[in-house]
Amino acid sequence: MSAASKDTALRTGVIARALIYAILLVFAVFYLLPLFVMLVNSVKPLEEIRQGNMLAFPELFTIEPWIQAWGEAQIGVQPTGLKPYFINSLVMVIPAVIISTLLGAINGYVLTKWQFPGHRIVFGLMLFSCFIPFQIVLIPMARILGMLDLAGTTYGLILVHVVYGLGFTTLFFRNYYDAFPTELIRAATIDGAGFFRIFQRILLPSSGPIIVVTVIWQFTNVWNDFLFGASFADFDSQPMTVALNNLVSSSTGVKEYNVHFAGAILAALPTLIVYIVSGRYFVRGLMAGAVKG
Amino acid sequence: MAFLEINRLHKQYGNVEVLKGVDIAIEEGGFLVLVGPSGCGKSTLLNSIAGLESITSGEIAIDGKVVNDLHPSKRDIAMVFQSYALYPSMSVAENIAFGLEMRGVSKAEREEAIQGVAGMLQIEHLLKRRPGQLSGGQRQRVAMGRALVRDPKLFLFDEPLSNLDAKLRVDMRTEIKRLHQKLGTTIVYVTHDQIEAMTLATQIAVLKDGILQQVGSPDEVYSKPANMFVADFMGSPTMNLIEARIENGSGALSVEIPQRDRSLSLPVPRPPSSLQSYSGKSVVLGIRPEDITDPDGADPKAEHIAHANCSVEVVEPTGADTFVVTQLGGKEVTGRMRNAAGLSVGADVPFAFNMGKIHFFDPATEQRIA
Ligand SMILES: Nc1ncnc2c1ncn2[C@@H]1O[C@H](COP(=O)(O)OP(=O)(O)O)[C@@H](O)[C@H]1O
Ligand SMILES: [Mg+2]
């Protein structure tokens, strides 16, 4: 009896498993199809795209569209390719991510371990900032950038992204540090460590998972941002997303789809790499609970 | 002036008063155990001494110096926490030396101090490990090492043994006592375990709801509990507290315990002076299980043994002794028999009451009648 039921359990197990894998496969294909189309068509000559099937593999393989997109394509008025804008984006993203992550960590530390009267309200307001749509802050932000003399500069964009990201980074670190044992802080206080020393020696070394989460989150958000870039950047500080838009929507001549595809992949590449390198820490970090002493 | 003095200490969280005017003094080299049920404010009191919690009013002085406004790191104290609070990202050696490092002690001196403490606690082989790789008992030792290495004026322990299993707890208890005898440093030790309090303390302070119930030597607290709470809290099994009446027959006081059929009358050989005024009134009679025995097992030196027959309700052998439960004054009363032979449930057997060791409490105020 028990052996028989075990057998059926085993068999239904196999069927269910096969079904699950089949469904997963369908979804995987569904999600990968756009990437496939982009990849395939970015290495075809334009003729082939015009005549043929978007899903077909290239008959004539070429990396010319990539070279074009990177260094030669017309962006706005200059035939510079996306390269300078890629650099603009990096110069903006890296400081923005570092500064907002660090400030978020300190905020989280203060809001959980150095609570002051009204700390709940402060946190509530920071949380609220996560839900404010970008569009609402455009005009006030433009005024402030103007007043600070940062309008149209990369510094201005960094400031915007730091301010806008602070709500999220604070939320992440606050929740993580909330589970961090307060007795550790007390022990370190008695041991004679001060505010920053405790942060640097006790909390930061245990913050790996949440730092990864925050960095990935901030990197993708800042890198992919279009609205702030389009609103606050000048020609020489425009980020990759804005440049990509200019490339794709430039009205002169024929639409070079292969170049557009290559450009789009270039624009997505950094976030893709960040995910591949540290994606598994992302999930682990989101799941991370208390630090065991 | 005592080494550690706490005067009229109040502590409030918002509107909730957690400590309601605590006064404690302890001599240099003393071992003060703060004992009380969970939530009574023991940790709050300890944290106030450490300076980790600000106090609402009152005064705390260590070695003749008021430390109210002194930062925890400047009070020359070391603390062992219930959760051990070892820094997870540092090795055992780094954990132990962290306090010295923060105080700018040179690396060579730190190394030497680590070795000394590690030798004393037998944790030399653990020095390179992370706290996550240690067992509970080992973490406990490291936490003690971190406190010892600084050679402070005052040690504070917050339920340091409560996360250990029973066997290890007893071992570590002995070890803490040995360390105290060897080092002679003043200790304030918090626990909710009255046995730990009895075994370790030179002074016990019993706390309930933020109010100090009694401060005294373990012997005083045990043999002269100030009120029914202390009587009930200290000792295991707990003291029997029986409702009774005081009768004044021909000059000698006796205590009447109402029973179903007839009341049981026991003589009171050496009545406390104010008991006279309770004549004809109800009191609470307290008697510890070890003072209710079989007639053969009664303390041979006791001068005032009263005998009475009671019916056996429950028999609980523990190996060395057997606890026997009977009914007195409508309450379950536990006695401690040495010889359990022939005890059967339902039987009427003779019990011996050591009347020289009884306690009386006022039923209204619950205070000891002295
Ligand atoms: N930070 C705090 N805010 C409000 N109430 C607190 C705080 N810390 C402790 N309490 C309260 O103070 C009382 C005493 O706590 P505690 O000293 O930790 O008790 P014990 O250590 O004796 O178990 C408890 O009722 C607890 O709820
Ligand atoms: Mg406590």
Within chain A, strands assigned E span: none
Task: Look at B73 and A206 and tell me if their CB atoms are within 8 Å.
Answer: no
* Shortest alpha-carbon distance between residue B212 and chain A (Å): 25
Ligand found nearest the CA of B41: 1
pLDDT of residue A290: 39
Nearest-10 Cα torsion for A190, A196, A198, A203: 160
Residue of minimum CA distance from atom 21 in ligand 1: B43
Tokens 């936490």: give the residue. B143
Beta carbons within 8 Å of B43's beta carbon, 6+ residues apart: B82, B158, B159, B190
CB–CB contact B103 A197 (8 Å):
no
Q: Counting Cβ atoms within 10 Å, is residue A77 exposed (0-12), middle (13-18) or buried (19+)?
A: exposed
Which of these, A203, A128, A205, A120, lies nearest to A167 by C-alpha position?
A128
**B142 contact partners, CB below 8 Å, separation of at least 6:** B84, B86, B92, B95, B96, B121, B123, B126, B131, B134
Which residue CA neighbors atom 14 of ligand 1 most closely?
B41
pLDDT reported for residue A291: 43
CA angle B104, B110, B115 (to 5 degrees): 165
CB contact under 8 A, A183 and B50: no
Per mean pLDDT, which of A9-23, B166-180, B291-305 is the most reliable?
Answer: B166-180
Asked if A293 lies within 8 A of B84 by C-beta distance, the reply is yes
**Separation between Cα atoms, residue A268 and residue B347, nearest integer Å:** 89
Query: B248 to chain A, minimum CA–CA distance in Å?
Result: 58
Name the residue at shortest CA distance from atom 24 of ligand 1: B39
Average pLDDT, chain B: 92
Q: In the predicted model, what is the mean pLDDT of residues B24-47?
A: 95
Q: From the CA of A284, how many Å to the nearest CA of chain B?
A: 18
How far is residue B170 from each of residues A100, A278, B234, measured CA to CA in Å?
A: 50, 47, 18
Q: Is B86 in Cβ contact with A186 (below 8 Å)? A: no
C-alpha B57/C-alpha B43 separation (Å) is 17
Give the pLDDT confidence of B242-277 residue by residue, as tens digits: 999 998 877 788 899 988 777 888 888 888 888 888
Q: Which of A105, A100, A102, A92 lies closest to A150 in space, CA to CA?
A: A92
pLDDT at B221 over 90: yes
Contact A201/B84, CB-based, under 8 Å? no
Cβ-Cβ contacts under 8 Å between A and B: the total is 67
Closest ligand 1 atom to B37 CA: 22
**Do residue A190 and residue B47 have CB atoms under 8 angstroms apart?**
no
DSSP string, B213-248: EEEE-HHHHHHS-SBHHHHHHSSSSPPEEEEEEEEE
Name which residue sits closest to atom 5 of ligand 1, judged by CA. B13
A183 Cα–ligand 1 center, Å: 14
Question: How many angstroms separate the CA of residue B200 from the nearest CA in chain A?
Answer: 24
Residue A211: predicted pLDDT: 92
Q: Does A179 touch chain B (CB under 8 A)?
A: no
Question: What does the pLDDT average to over B181-193?
Answer: 94
For residue A293, the model assigns a pLDDT of 39
Confidence of residue B234 (pLDDT cuts 50, 70, 90): very high
**Tens place of pLDDT for every residue, chain A, 293 residues?**
445 556 666 677 888 999 999 999 999 999 999 989 999 999 999 888 888 788 888 888 999 999 989 988 888 778 888 999 999 999 999 999 999 999 999 999 999 999 999 999 999 999 998 888 888 889 999 999 999 999 999 999 999 999 999 999 999 999 999 999 999 999 999 999 999 999 999 999 999 889 998 999 999 999 999 999 999 998 889 999 999 998 888 766 778 889 999 999 999 999 989 888 887 777 776 665 434 43
> Do A186 and B99 make contact, defined as CB atoms within 8 angstroms?
no
Give the H/E segment covering residue A102.
helix A83-113
Distance of CA B314 to the CA centre of its chain: 28
Where are the alpha helices (H) located in B185-338, listed in sequence order? 194-200, 218-223, 228-233
Q: How far is CA A170 from the centre of its chain?
A: 16
Cis upstream peptide for A239 (omega within 30°): no
- Pairwise CA distance, residues A4 & B171, whole Å: 54
Q: List the 317-346 stretch of B: residues with Cβ below 8 A of A.
A: none
> Ligand 1 site: residues with CB under 6 angstroms?
B 13, 16, 18, 36, 38-44
The answer to whether the Cβ–Cβ distance between A183 and B103 falls below 8 Å is: no
- Residue in B50, B85, B146 nearest the CB of A293: B85
Distance between CA atoms of B52 and B40, rounded to whole angstroms? 18
pLDDT value of residue B345: 86
Does A202 reach chain B within 8 Å, measured CB to CB? yes
Under 8 Å between Cβ of B168 and B137? yes
A169: region left, alpha or beta (phi > 0 left; psi from -120 to 50 alpha): alpha
Ligand 1 atom with minimal separation from the B45 CA: 17
The CA distances from residue A199 to A102, A167, A203, B324, in Å, are 11, 20, 5, 58
Tens of pLDDT, residues B107-147:
999 999 999 999 999 999 999 999 999 999 999 999 999 99
What's residue B31's pLDDT?
96
CA B37 to CA B366: how far, in whole Å? 18
CA distance A87 to A81: 12
A256-287 exposure pattern, b = at least 16 Cβ within 10 A, e = fewer: bbbbbbbbbbbbbebbeebeeebeebbeebee
Q: Give the HSE-up count for residue A216: Cα atoms under 13 Å, Cβ half-sphere.
A: 22
> How far is ligand 1, taken at its centre, from the CA of residue B45, in Å?
10
B239 in Cβ contact with B287 (< 8 Å): yes
- Distance (Å) from the C-alpha of residue B102 to the closest C-alpha of chain A? 6
> Which residues on chain A are in Cβ contact (under 8 Å) with B159?
none
CA-proximal residue: ligand 1, atom 16 (nearest): B41
CA of B245 to the centre of ligand 2 (A): 39
Q: Please name the member of B47, B87, B99 whose beta carbon is closest to the beta carbon of A184.
A: B87
Q: Alpha-carbon distance A267 to A290, whole Å?
A: 37
For residue B158, give the ligand 1 atom closest to its CA.
21
B72 touching A, CB under 8 A?
A: yes
Which among B73, B82, B139 has the least Cβ separation from residue A191? B73
- The beta-carbon neighbor of B73 closest among A184, A192, A205 is A192
The answer to whether the CB atoms of A181 and B85 lie below 8 A apart is yes
**B162 inside 8 A of chain A by CB:** no
What is the predicted pLDDT for the residue at B262? 76
Closest residue by Cα to residue B226 from B362, B30, B36: B362
Handedness of CA B218, B223, B225, B229 (dihedral sign): positive
Average pLDDT of B214-230? 96
Of B44, B190, B192, B233, the residue with max ligand 1 atoms within 8 A of its CB, to mutate for a pocket test, comes to B44
Give the nearest partner residue to B102 out of A184, A192, A206, using CB atoms: A192
For residues B161 and B85, the answer to whether their CB atoms sit within 8 Å is no
B288 by DSSP, 3-state: which?
coil
Contact status of B88 with chain A (Cβ, < 8 Å): yes
Amino acid present at B279: S
What would the two tokens of residue A98 be?
């570092």
Q: Does residue A190 sit at the B interface (CB-CB below 8 Å)? A: yes
> For position A104, what pLDDT does the model report?
97
The size of chain B, in residues, is: 370
Query: Position of tokens 């290239």?
Result: A58
B82 Cα: distance to centroid of ligand 2 (angstroms): 8
How much is the average pLDDT of B69-77? 94
